[in-house]
Amino acid sequence: MLKKAVKKWRGNRGESIAESLVSMLVIVLAGLMLAGAITSSARMNHATRKAAQFPQYADANGQAKTASVSGTLAGGVSLSVNIPVTVYEDEGEMRYYTKN
């Protein structure tokens, strides 16, 4: 095995045209996939930035409310928790809570 590798390294035979074309095809396809991923990522970032404008709150102090969280634990045990929070909203699209 080692003798074959040394023989190939020392030989003066080059790569065939088919090997060169296949390697170029692989490189071009990899480049196209990378370009597609970059373009897709840029479009998603642009759409996200456009859609997720930072909210302008009408009331800077917010409204005091109580958030209720309920669920069932393993074994069928029900749990309900009430937490006092301050709610900030922007025209009903986004909601932000802070714990009081």
Residues 2-60: tens digit of each pLDDT: 788 777 777 777 778 888 899 999 999 999 999 999 999 998 887 777 665 544 444 44
The greatest distance separating any two alpha carbons of the chain, rounded to the nearest whole angstrom, comes to: 82
Residue range 56-87, pLDDT digits in tens: 444 445 666 666 667 777 777 887 777 777 77
Q: Does residue 4 belong to any structural domain of this protein?
A: no
What is the pLDDT at residue 64? Answer: 65
Q: Does residue 2 belong to any structural domain of this protein?
A: no
Q: Does residue 7 belong to any structural domain of this protein?
A: no
Same domain, 69 and 92: yes
Number of domains composing the chain? 2
What is the pLDDT at residue 54? Answer: 47
Same domain, 68 and 94: yes
Q: Does residue 93 belong to any structural domain of this protein?
A: yes
Q: Does residue 3 belong to any structural domain of this protein?
A: no
Provide the residue range defining the domain that includes 22.
15-51
What is the pLDDT at residue 62? Answer: 60
What is the pLDDT at residue 59? Answer: 46
Q: Does residue 57 belong to any structural domain of this protein?
A: no
Contact (CB, 8 A) for 62 and 98: yes
Sheet order of strands, 78-90 included: 63-72, 78-90, 94-99
